[in-house]
């Protein structure tokens, strides 16, 4: 069986197609790598690239694309809606077949070492490769973003795992590691008020929010720590964003483990919370690729609501999922280009 490791780097450029093309070409030119997707977003000013291959080929493609991005992207000029910490924001390695999470952790460390030896920028390990509890979640490492990075590097608690704690204004920092297959999933609202989307995100995300009293003050426990009200969904990260080109707000969701909370459950939960806030869900989108099973689960879920007989035909179930999740509202959802099993 062929070894397949997926890599999904996020580059802090979503508007200049010339730069995006050069980065993509640096990946596709590596032997043994298959480029599966290049998805720029103008509002986020970020491009998500997806490619697969063997351990060595994926590591080399990740390195070559990093070198090219560092050459072409200047973080001093970067502005966008999505949180980021550097020109190459995050580079995760994901086991797909004939490999293991442990191997992907080692690949991420080898890649980090290669980049640090050439550039000596701050590099953090996250997720399954993390070295400290506060570095498991990408959002904790990104806190303060690029603009707060210089001050963050002065704190010994945030010295990098590779490279030196020295602020590089052009490149910023980089995060890498290994993780389970993440589905980047955004739910669209019929409003341009991103504060409503953020409120929904606080209600559904696993990390929840700090508890406040009637005066709006944080409620502390006996040890002086903030009491956290957990959100309703496990293995879900979320935030509210504004999608300017469509004049809509989105609940931007990272489905960390679709076997625990699949996209359709997140979609239904957002619908429920949106209704209490006087807005409606109009559709959703998957950024990057998705495992086929996530859509089959959604298809079975919605089919069971309409009939006692659930279709067994794969294409029919996927169509039911696409229609009920409104996956083609912003851009046509083409299964052959969005489902990883169909791409490999």
Active-site residues, by number, are 82
Count of C-beta atoms within a 10 Å radius of residue 293: 14
Phi, psi of 144 (to 5 degrees): 95, -20
Q: Name which of 264, 340, 341 is nearest 37 in CA terms.
A: 340
Helices 292-306 and 314-325, packing angle to 10 deg = 80
- Dihedral sign (CA 70, 75, 76, 78): positive
**Token output for 240:** 């509210």
**Token output for 218:** 């944080």
What are 290's strand-pairing partners?
339
DSSP string, 72-84: H--GGG---SS--
Radius of gyration over every alpha carbon of the chain, rounded to an integer in angstroms: 20
Centroid of chain to Cα 204:
17
Locus of tokens 């970020």? 46
HSE-up (13 A, CA, CB side) for residue 137: 11
Asked if 111 and 147 touch (Cβ cutoff 8 Å), the reply is no
């Amino acid at each position: 069986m062929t070894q397949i490791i997926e890599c999904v780097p996020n580059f802090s450029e979503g508007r200049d197609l010339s730069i995006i093309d050069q980065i993509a070409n640096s990946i596709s030119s590596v032997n043994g790598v298959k480029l599966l997707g290049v998805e720029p977003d103008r509002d986020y000013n970020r491009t998500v690239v997806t490619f697969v291959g063997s351990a060595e080929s994926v590591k080399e493609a990740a390195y070559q694309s990093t070198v090219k991005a560092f050459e072409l992207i200047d973080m001093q000029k970067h502005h966008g809606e999505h949180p980021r910490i550097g020109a190459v924001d995050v580079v995760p390695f994901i086991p797909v077949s004939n490999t293991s999470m442990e191997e992907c952790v080692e690949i991420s460390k080898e890649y980090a070492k290669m980049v640090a030896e050439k550039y000596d920028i701050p590099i953090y390990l996250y997720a399954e490769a993390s070295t400290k509890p506060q570095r498991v979640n990408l959002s904790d490492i990104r806190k303060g973003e690029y603009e707060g990075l210089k001050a963050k590097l002065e704190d010994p608690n945030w010295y990098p795992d590779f490279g030196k704690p020295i602020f590089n204004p052009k490149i910023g920092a980089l995060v890498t590691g290994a993780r389970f297959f993440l589905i980047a999933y955004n739910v669209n609202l019929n409003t341009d008020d991103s504060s409503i989307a953020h409120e929904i995100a606080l209600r559904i995300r696993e990390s929840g929010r700090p508890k406040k009293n009637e005066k709006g003050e944080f409620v502390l426990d006996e040890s002086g720590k903030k009491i956290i009200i957990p959100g309703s969904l496990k293995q879900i990260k979320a935030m509210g964003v504004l999608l300017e080109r469509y004049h809509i707000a989105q609940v931007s969701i990272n489905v960390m483990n679709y076997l625990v909370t699949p996209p359709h459950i997140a979609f239904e939960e957002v619908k429920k919370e949106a209704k209490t806030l006087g807005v409606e869900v109009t559709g959703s989108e998957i950024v990057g690729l998705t495992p086929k099973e996530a859509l089959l689960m959604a298809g079975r879920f919605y089919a069971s609501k309409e009939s006692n007989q659930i279709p067994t035909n794969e294409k029919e179930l996927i169509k039911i999922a696409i229609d009920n999740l409104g996956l083609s509202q912003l851009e046509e959802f083409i299964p052959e280009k969005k489902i990883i099993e169909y791409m490999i």
